Structure 1
Amino acid sequence: MPGTRDAEPARGRPRDIGRDLAILDATLKLLVEVGYEQLSIESVAAAAGVGKPTVYRRYSGKAALVAAAVEHRAASVPPAVDARDLRQALLETAGWLAEQIAEQEIGLLGALFAGMRSDRDLAAEMRRILRRDEAAMTAQPFGGVRGEHLVPGAAGLFAEIVPALVVHRLVFVGEPIDQSFLEHIVDDILLPLLQPR
């Protein structure tokens, strides 16, 4: 029949994944370069080589865009840990978490901290991501080690303590997360706290 098109999609074009990645990468780069306050949808669109409406079709605003970029950068599920004892499981889980945090540039962490102080929406998004990550860490605590007697809420304590110590070490002390520091966290802090006396 004249004027008809074959195999026409019912809901328009599929989303261009390349554009998605370009937008998220541009967001992270600009966050480090100019900070959260100076970052804008316009600047992200220009850096990604897309129009501003393309960004707004995907994200409701700056906070949602930044949260999506942060989630894209970091894996949220800890690896399966094949550990025979609690200490080894703690070392491996803490090491994975430290690596996840250390992969974030110091400038990015600083931009996020500053942005959270001035933007309630960003603070809410970052807390949502934190709760998601804590849930992932506590769903199968310490590699599923069994037969160990732990205090109630041990996995939650782990999720509160380790990120704080890692961020303090990286951002404020300016030292790397090496094996001796991980052993200090596990032997001197976690094991005494997580096991009942």
Structure 2
Amino acid sequence: MSTPPGTTGRPRDAGRDLAILDATLRLLTEVGYDQLSMEGVAARAGVAKTTVYRRYRDKAALVAAAVDRRAGGTPPETDAGDLRTQLLVQVRWLARQIAEQEIGLLGALFAGMRGDPALAAEMRRIRRRDEAAMTDQPLRRAAEHGERLAPAAAELFAEVAPAVIVHRIVFTDLSCDEPFVEHLVDDILLPLLRGR
């Protein structure tokens, strides 16, 4: 990593950045958001407190950066024009993304968002960005192929699909296998998105 133009000093050490973000996720899962501290992250990452504070203005920004780095994937693109095929691809991808998250991490994030408006705002910013990436291409392509979509179809997909998947994984402790993916698409999402 190089120093941005117009700044002085040594380039930032990418290894330290990764150590800080990894330490944040581990501690978040172990102790929860309330007990997480910048000092604790610094100690776990093996860096000085000032190293963490120089990179992140507060705990919410630190946690959001760690979660954002962990998520790291982009939805796959497909050339299929029909809405069902588009949705199957997106839901399979989304289910994998959610299933790969540790349940302890999800719980810590949910609890932290309830108690810290700054964290909630950061996580909503990430969600809005990811929501646009996840819904723009499949719904736009389906509309281009003559599919009539309900008003706010993108928002409906982004609200319903992750909620049903999280419920399946966290509360029922079942996998998002192909029959479930098809049920979610055929019985829930398609009627909703078509406004029927």
The alpha carbon displacement at 1:46 in A equals 0.8
Question: Separation in 2 of the partners of 1:133 and 1:64?
Answer: 17
Matched residue, 1:32? 29
Matched residue, 1:166? 165
Question: Separation in 2 of the partners of 1:76 and 1:157?
Answer: 21
The alpha carbon displacement at 1:52 in A equals 0.3
The residue correspondences of 1:1-150 to structure 2 (distance < 5 A) are 11-75=8-72, 77-142=74-139, 144-145=141-142, 146-150=145-149
Is the contact between residue 138 and residue 155 of structure 1 (CA under 8 Å) also seen in structure 2?
Answer: yes
The alpha carbon displacement at 1:143 in A equals 7.5
- Pick closer, same or farther for the CA change 1:10–1:40 going to 2, 3 Å: closer
Partner of 1:140, secondary structure, is helix
Question: Separation in 1 of the partners of 2:114 and 2:195?
Answer: 37
Under a length normalisation based on structure 1, what TM-score does the superposition of the two structures give?
Answer: 0.90
- Pick closer, same or farther for the CA change 1:86–1:13 going to 2, 3 Å: same
Deviations 1:127-160 (A, max 9, x none): 1111111121232234723232222222221111
The alpha carbon displacement at 1:76 in A equals 5.2
Is the contact between residue 76 and residue 136 of structure 1 (CA under 8 Å) also seen in structure 2?
Answer: no
The alpha carbon displacement at 1:27 in A equals 0.4
Aligned length: 189
Q: Letter of the aligned partner of 2:156 in structure 1?
A: L
Question: Separation in 2 of the partners of 1:116 and 1:152?
Answer: 29
Q: Letter of the aligned partner of 1:169 in structure 2?
A: R
Question: Separation in 1 of the partners of 2:136 and 2:194?
Answer: 19
Larger radius of gyration: 1
Question: Separation in 2 of the partners of 1:112 and 1:40?
Answer: 14
Question: Separation in 2 of the partners of 1:151 and 1:76?
Answer: 27
Is the contact between residue 106 and residue 171 of structure 1 (CA under 8 Å) also seen in structure 2?
Answer: yes
% identical aligned pairs? 69
Under a length normalisation based on structure 2, what TM-score does the superposition of the two structures give?
Answer: 0.90
Question: Separation in 1 of the partners of 2:116 and 2:177?
Answer: 34
The alpha carbon displacement at 1:30 in A equals 0.7
Question: Separation in 2 of the partners of 1:70 and 1:164?
Answer: 18
